[in-house]
Amino acid sequence: MHDALQFLGYFQDYQLTWSFFFDQLVAGLTLGSVYGLIAIGYSMVYGILKLLNFAHGEVFMIGSYIGYFVLTWLGGAADPDLPIAIVIALMFVAAMLGAGALGVVIERFAYRPLREKRAPRIAPLISALGVSFCLQQLAVICFGSVPKQYDSFSFDGGSLFTRVSIGPFEIQYMQVFVIVVTALLMVGLTIFVARTQVGRAMRATSFDLEAASMMGINVDRVIVVTFLIGSALAGAAGVMNGLIFQNVDPYVGFQVGLIAFAAAVIGGIGSIPGAMLGGLAIGLGRAFAVGYVSSSYQDVIVFAILIGFLLLRPSGIFGVPAPSKV
């Protein structure tokens, strides 16, 4: 196989090694984990409200800022006042609480009034875009537009980015951390949705909001919980993004948010595992496009493949085709 690929004259020796493949795989999984966690928020909200919450990217951005400020408050990465594990745990807790609260506030003041007035579906969409730009500009005013650096490479002399060997492969502790934390959050969310009363109410509301309401489910409460969880996950993604990619600025949410939205659509919007898979697909697509084709065309390659996939399966990986009523 190796010789056959080399015979084609396209691939170079290093590209045909398992270690390079593994490096790109891990890079894609790490990036995809961040996209996936954000995509879950888009998907959950859409699943219940049929609303594209374009402010979700900015919730991610605020979560990342909260993580940065907690880190700074605790002495910074180079010389933290507390053990690193506690500092990082506090960053996650604060970012998830702060982002979750922000999500609830956005729902309460920007979306619910429109829902109560039975506004056409385009109205909340515009409201979401408005909230997105408001949060972006507020961040510029409050935090400045120059990127803030987590400087996480300074944690314990850079030990978090030390490579650990797994057989012939190498992976950084930080990459392991991001992938494992994402997996744990996914497992926790899946159990919550599948096994708890609130989770069942969420599924019922997602299936049919009006029927759920008539069955005695407090739909408003379910929606608040949905925003709380989706936004908290975005906050966690914000901290992960800062820890591994260092920078946070007021504009980071828009770009990442759009990609996460694409991930949610690819996974089948409304589906939680689909959103995560969509995020991983985009992350892996980018990493392999850079590694094996060309960094210049990474987005073209990834999105061309995804468009092709959606043409074959318009409802996404786990999406359910909408029944046509006659």
Contact set with other proteins (CB under 8 A): 12, 14-15, 17, 19-20, 23-24, 27-28, 30-31, 109-110, 113, 130-131, 134, 137-138, 140-141, 144-147, 149, 153, 158, 161, 163, 172, 245-247, 249, 251-252, 255, 286-287, 290-291, 294-296, 298-299
Pairing of strands 247-248, 148-149: antiparallel
Supply φ then ψ for residue 146, to 5 degrees.
-75, 135
Q: What is d(CA 304, CA 309) in angstroms, rounded to the nearest whole number?
A: 9
- Pick the closer one to other proteins by CB: 7 or 14: 14
Name the minimum Å distance from CB 22 to other proteins: 9
Name the minimum Å distance from CB 47 to other proteins: 25
- Pick the closer one to other proteins by CB: 27 or 51: 27
Name the minimum Å distance from CB 176 to other proteins: 13
- Pick the closer one to other proteins by CB: 31 or 233: 31
Supply φ then ψ for residue 47, to 5 degrees.
-60, -35
- Pick the closer one to other proteins by CB: 218 or 246: 246
DSSP per-residue letters across 82-101:
S-HHHHHHHHHHHHHHHHHH
Name the minimum Å distance from CB 187 to other proteins: 25
Q: What is d(CA 242, CA 5) in angstroms, rounded to the nearest whole number?
A: 38
- Pick the closer one to other proteins by CB: 1 or 146: 146
| C-alpha separations of 25 from 167, 188, 218, 309 in Å | 16, 24, 43, 21
Q: What is d(CA 196, CA 218) in angstroms, rounded to the nearest whole number?
A: 15
Residues in Cβ contact with 227 at an 8 Å cutoff, skipping those fewer than 6 apart: 45, 100, 103, 104, 106, 107
- CB-CB neighbours of 153 under 10 Å: 16
Name the minimum Å distance from CB 254 to other proteins: 9
Name the minimum Å distance from CB 244 to other proteins: 8
Name the minimum Å distance from CB 284 to other proteins: 10
Name the minimum Å distance from CB 4 to other proteins: 20
- Pick the closer one to other proteins by CB: 291 or 316: 291
Task: Answer for the pair 255, 54: CB distance below 8 angstroms, yes or no.
Answer: no
- Pick the closer one to other proteins by CB: 3 or 116: 116
For residue 171, the cross-strand partners are 164
- Pick the closer one to other proteins by CB: 44 or 252: 252
Instruction: Please give the structure tokens belonging to residue 276.
Output: 């995560």
3-state secondary structure of 11: coil
Supply φ then ψ for residue 286, to 5 degrees.
-65, -45
| C-alpha separations of 162 from 90, 159, 170, 176, 236 in Å | 22, 5, 10, 11, 22
Which residue blocks in 50-83 are alpha helix, DSSP H? Answer: 56-73
